[in-house]
Amino acid sequence: MRALLYLIITLLFISCQTGNEKNRFLQGNAFGTSFSVIYNAPIQEDVVRRGVDSVIHAFNKSVSTYDPESLISKINAGDSTVVVDDIFKEVFFMSKIVYENTNGYFDPTVGVLRNAYGFGEEEDVAAVTQKKLDSLMTMVGFDKVHFREDHTISKDHPMIYLDFNAIAKGYGVDRIAAFLESLGITNYLVEIGGELYGSGLNPERNAPWSVGIEAVDSELGDRTYTHAIPLHNAGMAASGNYRKYKVDPESGKKFVHTINPLTGSAEQTDVTSATVIAESCALADAYATAFMALGLEKSKLVLENLDGVQAYLTYLDKETEEENGYATAGMKLLLAD
């Protein structure tokens, strides 16, 4: 199989009639990328758009590291008196679950490492030496961050940098989905930067929403796809390193954006992409990131103990250097549809 990476909606429709209802399509920008919402209900687009914008605004004010006035930015700056909101609390504890289930390979405290390698908000470090890495690793470890009873956050090291970006887009998708549900909308597809949640049916086809999976070797301006997968009341996310990497100008060494929280390494494992389906897009997003850092064999062990999580991983065979694919039983059924 060709490598899979980036999820994008296919077979989308903007305005076809289904009885007396019109399929409606919204799009815009969120979290540094684009979003789209397709729904089928007699509710005006401006009502939905205002609600979606409100969800995005609330999310940014809570856990966006790009907003210096957000709750997470103030906590990262050392303010231990910040009382967090429900968004922060939900993201924190969902991240804690994935952190524990992956034996620490999903870790929101790798922000200092991501910044050091040039993938975050800080300036690049010219060379990440072992001495520098050892120093940074004292600030890594989600078990060093504590949620107090008064809803404030304490950190064992004042310079620990929280970064929920590896779960953020997925969680944002889920929040928008929850908003649509609050309006009584049950047939919809939400997408932020390629992360998705599909609910109900695509009324045009009277079938689950169909989403495409992009091939790793496709060009950014001319994307090609390997499969169309049905997405029914589930979230879907993907992660990969083929477009996001840095090269040290001095050594020529390549650093990928997925970082091993246990070693601090930003080097590619044998897994080249991870596509995950779960009950929520946030979980799919987080596990897709974790599998990139875990590598194939450790990912298999994690998946054996996860209920309701399906995955397709592409990896390079160490002996032949050829690309292969591994799919869980549930994912095999979806890929065969």
Full-model pTM: 0.87
Of 331, 326, 36, nearest to 195 by C-alpha is 36
Report which DSSP code applies to 143: G
Given a cut of 70, whether residue 41 has pLDDT beyond it is yes
Work out the percent of the chain whose per-residue pLDDT is above 90. 59
Residue ranges making up the domain that contains 223: 4-336
Report yes or no: 259 and 165 within 8 Å, Cβ to Cβ. no
Report yes or no: 3 and 314 within 8 Å, Cβ to Cβ. yes
Tell me the pLDDT tens digit for each residue of 302-326. Answer: 999 999 999 999 898 877 878 888 9
**Alpha carbons 119 and 130: distance in angstroms, whole number:** 19
Tell me the pLDDT tens digit for each residue of 84-93. Answer: 999 999 999 9
Element (H, E) at 74: helix 71-76
Amino acid at 127: A
pLDDT at 15: 36
β strands within 10-165, DSSP E: 17-18, 21-30, 33-40, 145-147, 153-155
The CATH number linked to 259 is 3.10.520.10
* Residue located via tokens 């205002």: 50
Q: Measuring CA to CA, how many Å separate 123 from each of 56, 128, 161?
A: 27, 13, 15
Of 246, 248, 273, nearest to 257 by C-alpha is 246
pLDDT at 317: 84
Tell me the pLDDT tens digit for each residue of 17-33. Answer: 444 456 789 999 998 88
Question: How many domains is the chain partitioned into structurally?
Answer: 1
